[in-house]
Amino acid sequence: MPRRQLIYEEDCRLCAASAQWIAARAGGDLEAVPFGDPQVPPELDADRSRAHLVEEGHVLHGGAAMTGALRAAGYGWIAKMFDLPGVAVVRDTGYAAFSRFHRRRRHED
């Protein structure tokens, strides 16, 4: 059974592809779970504006969730770079901008 769950928006092709790519490389240690799945806790399902990584009772959100997922998939060296103080700000700002763009675009369709 996977120790981690990466919760993502399956209506976003990039999000779904990224989550599945990471899960495939995590060797069964991470499961990609789309919003709306019964496994997703209600409080996280209500916050569909960003991805969530659930790991042993702790939850990471947005860019930090993606960094944690990369670490779980064996890409710790990339995760370390994204966790550097200045880089983490850019990571989180970029993630938030993409998320806003994606939500706005979804509402236009």
Mean pLDDT per 10-residue segment, the chain (109 residues): 88 91 93 96 93 93 94 94 93 90 67
Say what the pLDDT of residue 20 is.
96
Say what the pLDDT of residue 109 is.
55
Say what the pLDDT of residue 94 is.
92
Say what the pLDDT of residue 71 is.
93
CA distances from 10 to 32, 38, 86, 94 (A): 10, 14, 30, 20
Single pTM value for the model:
0.87
**Under CATH, which architecture does the 4-108 domain have?**
3-Layer(aba) Sandwich (3.40)
Domain residue ranges of the chain, discontinuous segments joined by +: 4-108
Nearest to 37 by CA among 66, 7, 2, 3: 7
- Backbone torsions φ then ψ of 15, nearest 5 degrees: -60, -50
- Backbone torsions φ then ψ of 12, nearest 5 degrees: -95, 115
Say what the pLDDT of residue 108 is.
59
Report H helices in the chain.
13-25, 42-45, 62-72, 76-83, 85-108
d(CA 72, CA 109): 34
Say what the pLDDT of residue 102 is.
75
Determine the residue type at 37.
Answer: D
